[in-house]
Amino acid sequence: MSLNPFYLAHVADSLDNLWSDFEEDILKDLAKRIKHSDGSLSSTAKWRYTKLRELGASEKYIQSQIAKYLKRTDKEINRIFEDAIISSLANDDEIFRQAYEQGIIAKSGYDIHDYSNLINKGVFDTYHEIRNFTKSFYASASNTFANALDMAYLQVSSGVMSETEACKYAIENLAKNGIVTTTSKSGRLEHADVIVSRAVRTGVNITSGKVMWGILDDLDCDLVETTSHMGARPTHALWQGQVFSRSGKSKRYPDFRKSTGYGTGEGICGWNCRHSFYPYFEGLSTVSARRYSMQENERIYNLTQKQRYNERMIRKWKREQVVLDAGGLDSSLATRKVKGWKKINDDLIKSNSDVLKHDYFRESIIKTNSIKNKGNVLLSIKNEFIKNSTPGLGKITFDNNFDFAKNNHEIEISEWLFSVFGGNIHHKVESKIVGVKTPDIDWNNEPWEIKRPTTLNAVDDRLRKAIKQIDGTYGGVILDLHVEDEFEKIKEKVESRLRFHNALNLTVILKKDSLVLDIVKMKKHP
């Protein structure tokens, strides 16, 4: 089925993290400049010279960072759109083929190049929106810095504070507020990562919806089913997981546009929406999207809103911690706040574990730069891996005399693998020959080991044993994480262990609950 809600929720994660890094880089630079202005606030002439010099240098730095991050964003947007459209269409090819074979539609094929203009426009519009945002951000960052310097000077010249106190106050305010700007008519101030990720998520969904609509027109398919997910916004919960008529002429199914608001910002495939739609053929299709009661959905919606708030507070205090460190100030309060909000979020999740899971992407300010050292680099291959997967296609088989009771965890993970990635998964019986090791599973004819680390140190230990188990030459390891440490630290452990073994052909899937946190592989540094 088209783009599922989980995919849409995380389609912009890489850019979310990238632009979080961007704001953090700017804030650290500004904090350092404010710190260095100490000693020039007592004299008006000296102050004016310092302000002009630092303001010019900071604006030059901001411009260079914008250019750098836009360049990386341009490549990433093209990749995201390509992956999303391909994934969307690949999910529906089989139902089109079956409908054609049963004579429901006259043809099953389409040429994706016929829709290249729609795709290119979606990419262009999204990138253009982000470029426009950077203009607002540049003005906001420059004003933030200029106002901080002016306030520091006034506090010193009026005798309210010493130079050191004024600089400290300015850096603390910078850390607290960050740099916010607006791109919406509502005038709501938001951080860079929020604006960019929403623009990409919305752009991808709008574009995939337009492409799907064109293909459905081309194949003469009138009925569509909408996806569904827990905790949908109340207005979307009314129509999720149902079948509609695109033409509005069906006597059995309601009008798609009128019911879902398709084509408007508030409707399906609109602003920050995680719903999409896919073909439905009477007599062939079965309603696959789960329906949630309005009461159940409202409960889940309210809980997820609380979780999102907690995650924003975790990121806010992490940002403050980084900026205070850059300005040479005490960041111990920010560190305690991070731990406090993490506990609040943990308690919320534990008391509602039936519906809530940790979202480590939203909690962390994750560095997107590759980890480099001694000629090798750890790269994320998550999107490429997902792109080449076939969820639900293939089969799970077992060796004779396989001990199902003893290997319950391995079976659970293989069923998860099958639902998320698909493929042929074969469970192996442990070798009884001394010195001969067998992997837990063969997945698409490659050996894979399944491990369940519960501490940060166990991540390294279980990965070491897994590499030994499969000889580390090819295949992979699934780390089913039950670890509460920050994801950055977990990846550092993985990177260190893979480099130690020079495991260039090994793939590591990092999962927590049902969420794919990342899929990584060592590559030789070019």
Q: Note the pLDDT of residue 286.
A: 78
Q: Note the pLDDT of residue 296.
A: 74
Pairing of strands 476-480, 507-512: parallel
Per-residue 3-state assignment (H helix, E strand, C coil) for 315-338: HHHHHHHHHHHHCCCCCHHHHHHH
Q: Which two tokens stand for residue 436?
A: 């001969």
Say if CB 317 and CB 331 are below 8 A apart: no
For 176, counting Cβ atoms within 10 Å of its Cβ (0-12 exposed, 13-18 middle, 19+ buried), the class is: middle
How confident is the model over 72-76, as a mean pLDDT? 86
Say if CB 301 and CB 232 are below 8 A apart: yes
Q: Note the pLDDT of residue 235.
A: 92
Whether 329 has a pLDDT exceeding 70, the answer reads yes
How confident is the model over 69-87, as a mean pLDDT? 83
Provide the mean pLDDT of the chain. Answer: 84
Whether 337 has a pLDDT exceeding 90, the answer reads yes
Q: What's the predicted TM-score (pTM) here?
A: 0.63
Q: Note the pLDDT of residue 263.
A: 92
- DSSP class per residue in 285-326: ----SPP--HHHHHHHHHHHHHHHHHHHHHHHHHHHHHHHHH
Q: Note the pLDDT of residue 38.
A: 63
Q: Note the pLDDT of residue 87.
A: 67
Categorize the per-residue pLDDT at 524 as very low, low, confident or very high, splitting at 50, 70 and 90. low
How much of the chain is in helix, strand and coil states, percent to nearest 5?
55, 10, 35
Question: Can you tell me whether residue 445 is helix, strand or coil?
Answer: coil
Q: Note the pLDDT of residue 130.
A: 93
Q: Encode pLDDT of 444-461 as tens digits.
A: 888 999 999 998 888 988
Q: Note the pLDDT of residue 433.
A: 64
Categorize the per-residue pLDDT at 43 as very low, low, confident or very high, splitting at 50, 70 and 90. low
How confident is the model over 360-387, as a mean pLDDT? 60
- DSSP class per residue in 155-209: HHHTTSS-HHHHHHHHHHHHHHH---B--STT---B-HHHHHHHHHHHHHHHHHH
Q: Note the pLDDT of residue 39.
A: 61
Reference 82, options 200, 240, 199; nearest CA is 200
Q: Which two tokens stand for residue 147?
A: 């106002």
Q: Note the pLDDT of residue 277.
A: 92
For residue 471, is it left (φ>0), alpha (ψ between -120 and 50) or beta? left
How confident is the model over 141-148, as a mean pLDDT? 88
Q: Note the pLDDT of residue 519.
A: 92
Q: Note the pLDDT of residue 410.
A: 92
Positive or negative, the Cα torsion across 335, 339, 340, 342? positive
Categorize the per-residue pLDDT at 203 as very low, low, confident or very high, splitting at 50, 70 and 90. very high
> What share of the chain in percent tops pLDDT 90?
26
How confident is the model over 369-373, as a mean pLDDT? 37
Of 46-55, 120-129, 302-311, the one with minimum mean pLDDT is 46-55
Question: Can you tell me whether residue 75 is helix, strand or coil?
Answer: helix
Q: Note the pLDDT of residue 185.
A: 58
Segment of 10-19, 82-91, 188-197 carrying the highest mean pLDDT: 188-197
How confident is the model over 490-505, as a mean pLDDT? 84
Q: Encode pLDDT of 227-251 as tens digits.
A: 888 778 889 989 998 999 999 999 9
